[in-house]
Structure 1
Amino acid sequence: MAEKKKILIRIGSLRHGGAEKVLATFLKNIPPHQYEIDLLLNLYSGKYLSEIPDWINIIYLHKGEMITTNRPQDIPRKAARVIHEKILKKFPGLLYKGKLKSKQYDIEFAAIHGMRDEILGSPLHSSKKAVWIHNDLSEVKGYTHQEIRKFFGFDKIMVISEKIEQLFQSLAINDAEKQKIVRIYNPLDTEEFLDKAKQPVIKYQFDSSVPTFVSVGTVFPQKGFDRLLKVHKRLLNEGLRHKILIIGDGYDFENIKKLKTELGVDETATMLGFTDNPYPYFKNADFYILSSRYEGFPTVLFEAITLKKKIISTEVSGAREMLNNGELGLIVDNSEEGIYQGMKQALSEPDTFITYENRLKEYEMPFNLKNSVNKITSILDGL
């Protein structure tokens, strides 16, 4: 029997984000007899912890919830965590000799771009190093071309969309670097959310006489919920009745909630916060709207397509690929005006969405869970 590959995977936590969900789905679907995996988290928290299979060894630097506030009583703990992580980054030997018990790994894997320096700074020189890039880094603050070039220190750069692939290809200086870039589709479990969508809606009252637009995502500025609410207000002022339902939580939650009150749309726009199962809300809403300023590969569109929703999406990385160049949903300009035009069309000319609905009925996803998992494991096996 072949020796099991020893793999160290690093990610911040297993909170509710696209990269975290995809990692959990991947780990649930790989053969345990081939690998010995240590999953190292900065913070032992998050809803996907419970989904990690028992055979995977979870190691963590800190326990407890993420501290997103700056309350005086939280600052010492927050600072201690930051200092601890900085020390381990500067002196990785302490981490590898201590928590990781001087273990030798065949592969060290950054499951998110933010773990780049931790993995590249590893004292294990013989291990192969891989990174999984979920975001269009050209849109992320602080990532100059010079910063992005540092990712070529990895043996493999896994990217999740055509746009991100083109970015890396354009920054590669030779063939050897180009060979490092590989595009993979995110492993997503279609059956899982079709099942979950059948559950009843608990926290919201849908009104069949008023069209509802649902949007699901972590409440960060990136997601553009501020733009969505401003457009909502503008359309109401024009007499176009509709409702907005935002599902998700994040550090911008209070700001967006405040904006909602300032705009005077508390009656028609609802922020549901975080829910374990957003799919029944998806299913019951009339439209799915993606108002993001930027994305890596918006997994949420894959879910909206699977649930055959009428979709409006801003032109972000991955949207054209997902929506077959606008065949499966309406792609609008990435601006407040673009979102306004799209929603106005949905409300004043709903018939224009019938074509999308008909195409979605027939549509089969080109990628599935099995293919995606196989592709990633073959990359790991080839390292």
Structure 2
Amino acid sequence: MPKKKILIRIGSLRHGGAEKVLATFLKNLPREKYDIDLLLNLYSGKYLSDIPDWINVIYLNKGEMITTNRLQDIPKKTLRVIYQNTLKKFPNLLYKGKLRNKKYDIEFAAIHGMRDEILNSPLQSSKKVVWIHNDLSQVKGYTNDEIRQFFGFDKILVISEKIEQLFHSLAKDNTERKKIVKIYNPLDTYEILTKAEEPVKEYQFDQTILTFVSVGTVFPQKGFDRLLKVHKKLIDEGLQHRVLIIGDGYDFENIKKLKSELGIDDTATMLGFTDNPYPYFKNADFYILSSRYEGFPTVLFEAITLKKKIIATEVSGVKEMLDKGKLGLIIENSEEGIYSGMKKALLQPEIFVKYSEALNYYQMPFNLENSVNKITSILDEL
């Protein structure tokens, strides 16, 4: 059989959950079955090196993401935006130029933000697929009418029960309902366990003080501002502990500034980006998820794999991931909820014994092979 020609689009391969999931998926695809072009808006990111050499990587711009508005950065940033917006408005220019008039069997939006780029493709005959990683009902600007536009795709891959329920509630008939497919994210357990054994390089853990670690791209969705405010409140109450935030993103400097304004530079650390966060997971006492919204938080899969004591705000995917609260403490999605959860960890650590015991015997209901096989079966059927 001839190889299926597939175009996959994503913004970049920076250190985010969706980017990691895509890289893991591509690493586990059979090269003899597919001819894949991976089109990036920006050729940058941690996961570039993870993309197999048989996949053709194409990009619109090259270089690091520009997250500041410094005077010297504005011309380059402006040119990038103009170029990308022009190709979005006139997709024929992209398909005739960068994509060399290639015909694809499938066009795949690897994140919801690539919806319009794929749906406006001049290739009428290609099948269209989108991968939804967020609970769009919680994302600013996504009204029901806006979300319904995703039914223009032939298949809508969703990563949690909550997102699946959202799309089912908006589907008008069985034809639309059949487009929705729930698939757990493909993640590599072996890689997580292996990398966790490496030494901690950039942080000194104090075994006499409890440490809460949180990992993620630094932007408002992740709620790191709430986490730091709660940390300050607990420190003021005399409850000594440390907070370690690992990750980078456009809100990094704002959160770092907030940390200094709160006067907690001695007890809270923003480590920035690291290639391997797993040794920090392993050495911390608690993993805390402070997110305002999620789709299916990949980071909890990693925390469960490493059998960490977990505190997580009640966002999409958390109940499903934590087996309805059997594997970790699920807290109210608010600053007060985070405060309550951390205070319990500091004053009533015995509460977490049952979670640790449950984790020791827990078998994940999803795995890398099953997830990859389910996605490839969908691609093969289209």
Q: Deviations over 1:258-292 (max 9, x none)?
A: 11111111111011000000000000000000000
Corresponding letter in the other structure for 2:107? E
1:75 corresponds to: 74
Q: Could you tell me which runs of 5 or more consecutive residues in structure 2 were left unpaired when the two chains were aligned.
A: none
4+ aligned runs moved over 4 Å, structure 1: none
* 1:241-260 aligned within 5 A: 241-260=240-259
Give 1:76 shift. Answer: 1.2
1:332 corresponds to: 331
2:267 corresponds to: 268
Corresponding letter in the other structure for 1:230? K
Give 1:112 shift. Answer: 0.4
2:238 corresponds to: 239
Q: Which moved more, 1:69-78 or 1:301-310?
A: 69-78
TM-score by length of 2: 0.99
1:290 corresponds to: 289
* 1:136-147 aligned within 5 A: 136-147=135-146
Q: Deviations over 1:283-338 (max 9, x none)?
A: 00000000000001100000000000000000000000000000000000000000
1:310 corresponds to: 309
1:344 corresponds to: 343
Q: Could you tell me which runs of 5 or more consecutive residues in structure 1 were left unpaired when the two chains were aligned.
A: none
1:132 corresponds to: 131
Give 1:77 shift. Answer: 1.1
| Rounded Cα–Cα distance in structure 1 between residues aligned with 2:33 and 2:77 | 38
Corresponding letter in the other structure for 2:355? Y
Corresponding letter in the other structure for 1:56? I
Corresponding letter in the other structure for 1:274? F
Matched, 1:166 2:170: no
Percent of aligned positions that are identical: 79
Corresponding letter in the other structure for 2:147? I
Give 1:10 shift. Answer: 0.4
* 1:135-214 aligned within 5 A: 135-214=134-213
Give 1:98 shift. Answer: 0.8
Q: Secondary structure at the match of 2:101?
A: coil
Q: Secondary structure at the match of 1:272?
A: strand
Corresponding letter in the other structure for 2:264? V
| Rounded Cα–Cα distance in structure 1 between residues aligned with 2:44 and 2:233 | 39
Corresponding letter in the other structure for 1:24? A
Corresponding letter in the other structure for 2:353? I
Q: Secondary structure at the match of 2:178?
A: helix
1:114 corresponds to: 113
| Rounded Cα–Cα distance in structure 1 between residues aligned with 2:246 and 2:114 | 27
2:366 corresponds to: 367
| Rounded Cα–Cα distance in structure 2 between residues aligned with 1:217 and 1:166 | 26
Matched, 1:41 2:40: yes
| Rounded Cα–Cα distance in structure 1 between residues aligned with 2:342 and 2:67 | 33
Corresponding letter in the other structure for 2:329? L
| Rounded Cα–Cα distance in structure 1 between residues aligned with 2:85 and 2:235 | 49
Give 1:20 shift. Answer: 0.5
Give 1:236 shift. Answer: 1.1
Matched, 1:354 2:353: yes
Q: Deviations over 1:163-213 (max 9, x none)?
A: 111110001001100000000000000000100000001111111110000
| Rounded Cα–Cα distance in structure 2 between residues aligned with 1:220 and 1:269 | 17
Give 1:87 shift. Answer: 1.0
Q: Secondary structure at the match of 2:108?
A: strand
TM-score by length of 1: 0.99
| Rounded Cα–Cα distance in structure 2 between residues aligned with 1:153 and 1:47 | 32
Give 1:238 shift. Answer: 1.3
| Rounded Cα–Cα distance in structure 1 between residues aligned with 2:216 and 2:42 | 21
Give 1:89 shift. Answer: 1.0
